[in-house]
Structure 1
Amino acid sequence: MANEQFGFKVIVRIETDDGDLTLKYPDFEIHFDSEFTDEPTPSETTIDIYNLKDSTRNMIKVGQAIHLQAGFGDDIGDITNAKIKYIHPPVRDGGDQMFEIVCYEGEDLSKDEREFTDDTPESANEIQVTFAAGVNARYVLDTLARRAGIPLEIVSLKDNKVFNEPYSASGTPISALEEVASEAKSKLFYRRGKLMVRDIHQDEGFDEQFKLSSATGLLDSPQREEDDDWQGYSIRSILNHRMATASIISLSSRYVGGDFRIKSGSHTFDGTNPETNAEIE
């Protein structure tokens, strides 16, 4: 528990059938790895808890809501609010017993096998929807989400495109929504458990904004990253719960500086090093 001297804390709260179960580091040894991305797939979090009593462990079940917070001193904030997807049997880790929980933030819509069609439905898996010429992207997104029963927050669209010809939606709900978002030059993604569409480069007024330098937690010099679809930098910082998809960073380092947005990343704690790693652009 090397981080006690720095005031690092972790709080895990699970909504069990018997009421809320709260476990805290450093009272319990708790490790975690929590991802966040700009993709329309739920982010995965793995939480390892050590040396739980059998009676406590048996309270934890698949499908329960789980909340993970972390930070230093009084500055503690959300890492994830998710649902338990898997529970692995306890295993020995040295002289300790480790219990692993895997949870997902948001609903995994990739498993939704329904499809949109503009023809008469031939099965219960088909959702009929048609759009006349002249509708815009916001209207199409709102209608598709409503017809599929998917909670969707349309924050902003870079281009609220007007379809000058009748528009036909096809494919699964998530693929159809992603296609329209792309037509509007915007992104469909999960942020802190909410599925949203937005122009990720536009300041909506609620994105976290903060300065990052060696004095405020930057651990290494930013590294240049690029591939066919993306270019930017990878950064490594002391854990900062404010970092999430679309958060704005004013970066100051010896060789790289300026304002950037977070694309994806992870919050991790291995029992020794609480860190946030992120890709920024």
Structure 2
Amino acid sequence: MSNLYMHKTAFLVSSHEITEPLTIQFSVPFGDNEKVDTIDISVYNLKDDTINAIATNQAAILSAGYVDDNGVIFSGTLKKKETKWEGLDKITTFKCIDSSLDYTSAVIKRTYGRNTSASLILSELARDAGLAIGDIDLPVDFIYRSGKALNGKIKTLVAEVAKDCEAKLYINKGRIYVRDSKKGDNLALDISKETGLIDEPEEIEEEAKDEKGSKLNNDKKKIKGYKLKMLLNHRVTTDIIIKLTSKKVSGVFRVSKGEHKGDTSGQEYYTECEVVPV
């Protein structure tokens, strides 16, 4: 990775692209749980005409990285915008979610016949929510022998079916993932001092989970992992498999959760994540 300090940030929302030299601040969390994350993106001294022209409930995409290596770190929906003054600065904060609004609020009432598979139901619920499918790879493709009646919010119904399949569930960049709790995506991503690792990995203990993603109560069932901090890396996200090389730790790990944080005025521009052994 070259030009590590020549960062490049772009926020595309409601057909408007906001870029530097405007100051853009962001916090983008990610993780392998069913929570729908809220993302705050703040822009300093945006023109009133632009603010007024940006409509809520529209697609929002944030790209970040460096001049010759940047990519999407968030893709979701703008829920709310608000503007306030701090001294001479006018700060507009865009509050977004990493899914469609239909996923969190739409209600479905539908009945499936006997011997319907969970994979079919999940695919159709993803379609109803307007979500692309990142991966539906079920540990158990549960068969509803007596049929299945759905009545409720899509988000709740998806979680219910995922539990029946002993699978973890999460949304990432507008895509739905329902898969084995230990599965990840191997991008042959090397993390080291040479590729932006800032500090030595910090040892942590993460609660072990069963096949359904529920925490185990046995204290001995804790997984040793590490917390990493690196220069912002748009490729690092939920379930990415990385090869970590440092003075104290080397090995292959899966990213379980983390956050991209940025301030284009130069205050911060990094990625933190927690990883567990593969």
State whether TM-score is above 0.5.
Answer: yes
- TM-score where L is the length of structure 1: 0.78
Q: CA deviation at 1:169?
A: 4.8
Q: Distance in 1 between matches of 2:4 and 2:226?
A: 31
Q: Does 1:214 align with 2:208?
A: no
Alignment gaps of 5+ in structure 2: 209-214, 216-221
2:64 to 35, 46, 70: 70
In structure 1, the partner of 2:203 is 223
Contact kept in structure 1, 2:100 and 2:130, CA below 8 Å: no
In structure 1, the partner of 2:146 is 166
In structure 1, the partner of 2:230 is 237
Q: CA deviation at 1:151?
A: 4.3
In structure 2, the partner of 1:261 is 254
Contact kept in structure 2, 1:8 and 1:73, CA below 8 Å: yes
Distance verdict in 2 for CA 1:14–1:159, change over 3 Å? same
Q: Distance in 2 between matches of 1:273 and 1:227?
A: 30
For residues 167-205 of structure 1, what are the alpha-carbon distances to aligned partners after superposition, in whole Å with 9 as ceiling and x for unaligned? 54566333332232233232221121112322353456x
Q: Distance in 1 between matches of 2:118 and 2:51?
A: 47
For residues 216-261 of structure 1, what are the alpha-carbon distances to aligned partners after superposition, in whole Å with 9 as ceiling and x for unaligned? 1122223313346374332211100011111111112233321111
Q: Does 1:60 align with 2:54?
A: yes
Q: Distance in 2 between matches of 1:71 and 1:152?
A: 24
Q: Does 1:12 align with 2:11?
A: yes
The amino acid across from 1:201 in the alignment is K
Greater strand percent: which structure? Answer: 2
Percent pairwise identity: 27
The amino acid across from 2:51 in the alignment is R
In structure 2, the partner of 1:129 is 111
In structure 2, the partner of 1:155 is 136
Q: Does 1:184 align with 2:165?
A: yes
Contact kept in structure 2, 1:42 and 1:107, CA below 8 Å: no
3-state DSSP class of the match of 2:258?
A: strand
Q: CA deviation at 1:211?
A: 0.8
Q: CA deviation at 1:73?
A: 1.8
Question: What is the RMSD of the two structures over their aligned residues, measured on CA atoms?
Answer: 2.8
Rg bigger for which structure?
1
The amino acid across from 1:138 in the alignment is S
Q: CA deviation at 1:166?
A: 2.6
Q: Distance in 2 between matches of 1:254 and 1:240?
A: 20
For residues 120-177 of structure 1, what are the alpha-carbon distances to aligned partners after superposition, in whole Å with 9 as ceiling and x for unaligned? xxxxxxx242442x5543244346656x6664635312233445x5354566333332
The amino acid across from 2:141 in the alignment is N
Q: Does 1:251 align with 2:256?
A: no
Contact kept in structure 2, 1:71 and 1:240, CA below 8 Å: yes
Q: CA deviation at 1:51?
A: 1.7
Alignment gaps of 5+ in structure 1: 116-126
- TM-score where L is the length of structure 2: 0.79
For residues 89-148 of structure 1, what are the alpha-carbon distances to aligned partners after superposition, in whole Å with 9 as ceiling and x for unaligned? 2221x4422221111121253434x46xxxxxxxxxxx242442x5543244346656x6
In structure 1, the partner of 2:79 is 85
Q: Distance in 1 between matches of 2:124 and 2:5?
A: 50
Q: CA deviation at 1:208?
A: 3.4
In structure 1, the partner of 2:90 is 97
